[in-house]
């Protein structure tokens, strides 16, 4: 293996290690490892290092399955990275031009294995358990694949898991600063092909692009916001109007609050709460960039499980902390975090406390929009069913497009909304609108 490939394997293995041990995103792990290994950037472009490490994290479960077939057990991160190179990397277009003598490298990798590996397709045919087959094919924990087999059935579960692996981009045009048509034309001139969304006139679906989107000057000028369409639907479900007083219980990084002000022309008052000072500092910068009036949005450092309210507000937005299982396309590290069931189960507990506090603090007739960037039923339908069972609140039909909730929740399913990557081209999201009685 030549010098560049050794560096690539070592770098990617370190990123994989940091993701797994530190429970951080791929991007954060990548930056951490890069700071410690600056010399590797002299051997390979950063975009190659990023893409390879990203794909190794995304393919982690598939590679570990193949490793067990070959070695009888799993080993270190370097071995996983080498197997990825053999099964995926040598054929990838983005590594072409950086590999010397691909066939010689392939033969060398094959000779290092204790037994002939066989193809992934052959391995999949030998798996009898449908959940395990899906988990290996699309690289997810088995329990995660089994959940959607049960909720959606085999064909649609496969469509979902496949689409969830793909990164999808949406652009929200900040109409406080720019015109949607003019922005779309400028983006096209820069090689960014977009499509106007039929549901939200300020949203653009990114169809194709040539250069990294975060290099666009429109973003740095605050004219566009990278916000998923499903995320915008959380705000739309609240139906903000000029003169509203809104409580955002988990505000950081503030993107939804900037949409509230965009939709109301900076004429709604938002109390933006977050438990972290650091996240609130970032929120302040976001609000300034997107021209949300400082007089309209007040930042409050507080724990929303114990709301510090002098008076209640008529509209409450709770985009609750969650597993972010609907955002795997943006961050494949979430897949590895999902393997930690203790980590997964801590979120429903937090969601229960936040939702109970929202209902307790709201006046009669108030609207509470509860949302999670999650595909999992126990972070969506089960939470709403539970709060209904406590009394004092009812669920209204969410005034946004999307799909009904999962079957099996008779008081909830037809009224809440779910967004799926394979159906709507968005992240996975759950949105419910509640009315306090």
The domain tally of the chain equals 3
Q: What are the backbone dihedrals phi and psi of residue 54, each rounded to the nearest 5 degrees, phi first? A: -60, -50
* Below-50 pLDDT ranges, the chain: none
In a domain, 395, yes or no: yes
- pLDDT (0 to 100) of residue 131: 98
Question: Are residues 253 and 344 located together in one domain of the fold?
Answer: yes
Catalytic residues: 373
In a domain, 418, yes or no: yes
Question: Are residues 419 and 277 located together in one domain of the fold?
Answer: yes
Q: What is the pLDDT of residues 78-126, one digit of tens each?
A: 999 999 988 888 777 777 777 667 777 788 888 888 888 888 999 999 9
- pLDDT (0 to 100) of residue 110: 85
Question: Are residues 30 and 75 located together in one domain of the fold?
Answer: yes
Question: Are residues 310 and 188 located together in one domain of the fold?
Answer: no
Task: State pTM to two decimals.
Answer: 0.94
Question: Are residues 286 and 402 located together in one domain of the fold?
Answer: yes
Question: Are residues 215 and 241 located together in one domain of the fold?
Answer: no
In a domain, 142, yes or no: no
CATH at residue 188: 3.30.70.1170
Domain limits for position 115: 3-126
- pLDDT (0 to 100) of residue 308: 82
Q: What is the pLDDT of residues 228-238, one digit of tens each?
A: 999 999 999 99
Question: Are residues 370 and 268 located together in one domain of the fold?
Answer: yes
Question: Are residues 252 and 345 located together in one domain of the fold?
Answer: yes
In a domain, 143, yes or no: no
- pLDDT (0 to 100) of residue 325: 98
């Amino acid at each position: 293996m030549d010098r560049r490939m050794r560096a690539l394997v070592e770098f990617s293995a370190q990123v994989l290690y940091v993701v797994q041990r530190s429970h951080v995103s791929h991007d954060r792990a990548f930056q951490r490892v890069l700071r410690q290994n600056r010399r590797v950037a002299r051997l390979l472009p950063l975009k190659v290092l990023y893409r390879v490490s990203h794909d190794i994290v995304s393919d982690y479960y598939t590679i570990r399955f193949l490793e067990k077939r070959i070695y009888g057990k799993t080993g270190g991160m370097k071995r996983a990275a080498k197997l990825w190179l053999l099964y995926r990397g040598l054929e990838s277009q983005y590594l072409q031009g950086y590999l010397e003598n691909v066939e010689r490298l392939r033969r060398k990798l094959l000779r290092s294995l204790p037994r002939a590996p066989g193809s992934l397709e052959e391995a999949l045919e030998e798996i009898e358990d449908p959940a395990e087959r899906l988990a290996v094919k699309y690289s997810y924990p088995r329990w995660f694949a089994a959940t959607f087999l049960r909720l959606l059935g085999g064909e649609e579960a496969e469509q979902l898991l496949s689409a969830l692996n793909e990164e999808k981009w949406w652009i929200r045009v900040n109409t406080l600063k720019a015109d949607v048509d003019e922005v779309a034309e400028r983006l096209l001139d820069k090689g960014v092909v977009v499509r106007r969304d039929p549901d939200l006139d300020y949203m653009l679906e990114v169809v194709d692009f040539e250069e990294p989107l975060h290099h666009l000057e429109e973003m740095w000028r605050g004219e566009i916001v990278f916000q998923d369409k499903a995320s915008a639907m959380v705000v739309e479900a609240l139906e903000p109007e000029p003169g509203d007083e809104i409580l955002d219980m988990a505000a950081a990084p503030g993107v939804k609050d900037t949409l509230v002000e965009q939709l109301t022309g900076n004429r709604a008052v938002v109390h933006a709460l977050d438990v972290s000072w650091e996240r609130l500092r970032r929120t302040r910068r976001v609000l300034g960039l997107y021209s949300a009036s400082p007089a309209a949005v007040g930042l409050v450092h507080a724990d929303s499980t114990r709301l510090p309210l002098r008076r209640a507000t008529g509209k409450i937005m709770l985009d609750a902390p969650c597993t972010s299982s609907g955002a795997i396309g943006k961050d494949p590290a979430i897949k590895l975090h999902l393997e930690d069931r203790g980590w997964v189960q801590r979120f429903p507990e937090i969601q229960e406390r936040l939702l109970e506090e929202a209902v307790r603090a709201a006046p009669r007739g108030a609207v509470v929009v509860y949302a999670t960037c999650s595909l999992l039923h126990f972070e969506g339908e089960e939470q709403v069913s539970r709060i209904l069972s406590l009394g004092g609140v009812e669920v209204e039909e969410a005034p946004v497009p999307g799909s009904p909730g999962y079957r099996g929740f008779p008081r909830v399913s037809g009224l809440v909304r779910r967004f799926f990557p394979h159906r709507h081209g968005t992240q996975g999201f759950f949105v419910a609108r509640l009315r306090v009685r």
